């Protein structure tokens, strides 16, 4: 007679487990943007607002500090509209420019000759570490023969430091 051997199945009480374990990090800025001097519009003519000092205005001065050379570009957008103003019933014609001012490294003055300008935007390739002060000018002319309405006018300069 054959002997019967019982079959025993063991079921594991453990099961496979998986965990998503994040790796985190924080990137510190190597390029920073600072407003050194806010622009102020002078009002030399009834239809004109300008940051030109001879017309009572103040040009904006914006500093960009770069800790790591040749990884960033500066992009300035001078105003082409008011962010706040009295109601205007005619068109406003805008002009503006951005220029290299003071520099912490003499070779940074070459940024001016190498800048790229389009529409109301000026870009600079920031090839050196250090600080560069940029001067931004803005002029708004209202209609052809109309006076600007009395009130407060504000326009925004957008200054960016962009990773290449």
Note the pTM of the prediction, 2 decimals.
0.84
pLDDT, position 13:
59
Q: Are 146 and 114 in contact (CB under 8 A)?
A: no
Kindly report the average pLDDT of the chain as a whole number: 92
- Of 74-83, 89-98, 142-151, which range is least confident? 142-151
pLDDT (average), residues 80-84: 97
> Is a pLDDT exceeding 80 seen at residue 113?
yes
Choose between 1 and 152: higher pLDDT. 152
- Of 29-38, 41-50, 137-146, which range is least confident? 137-146
Among 160, 136, 125, which Cα is nearest to 79's? Answer: 136
pLDDT, position 80:
97
Among 32, 46, 37, which Cα is nearest to 74's? Answer: 32
């Amino acid at each position: 007679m054959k002997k019967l051997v019982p079959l025993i199945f063991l079921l594991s009480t453990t099961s496979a487990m998986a965990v998503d374990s994040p790796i985190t990090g924080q990137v510190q800025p190597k390029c920073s943007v600072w407003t050194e001097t806010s622009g102020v519009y002078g009002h030399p003519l009834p239809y004109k607002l300008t940051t030109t000092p001879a017309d009572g205005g103040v040009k904006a001065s914006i500093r960009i500090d770069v800790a790591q050379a040749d990884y960033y570009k500066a992009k300035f957008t001078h105003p082409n509209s008011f962010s706040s103003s009295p109601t205007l019933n005619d068109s406003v014609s805008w002009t503006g420019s951005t220029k290299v001012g003071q520099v912490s490294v003499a070779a940074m003055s070459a940024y001016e000759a190498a800048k790229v300008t389009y529409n109301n935007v000026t870009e600079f390739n920031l090839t050196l570490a250090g600080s560069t002060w940029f001067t931004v000018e803005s002029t708004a002319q209202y209609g052809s023969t109309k006076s600007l309405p009395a009130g407060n006018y504000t326009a925004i300069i957008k200054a960016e430091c962009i990773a290449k």
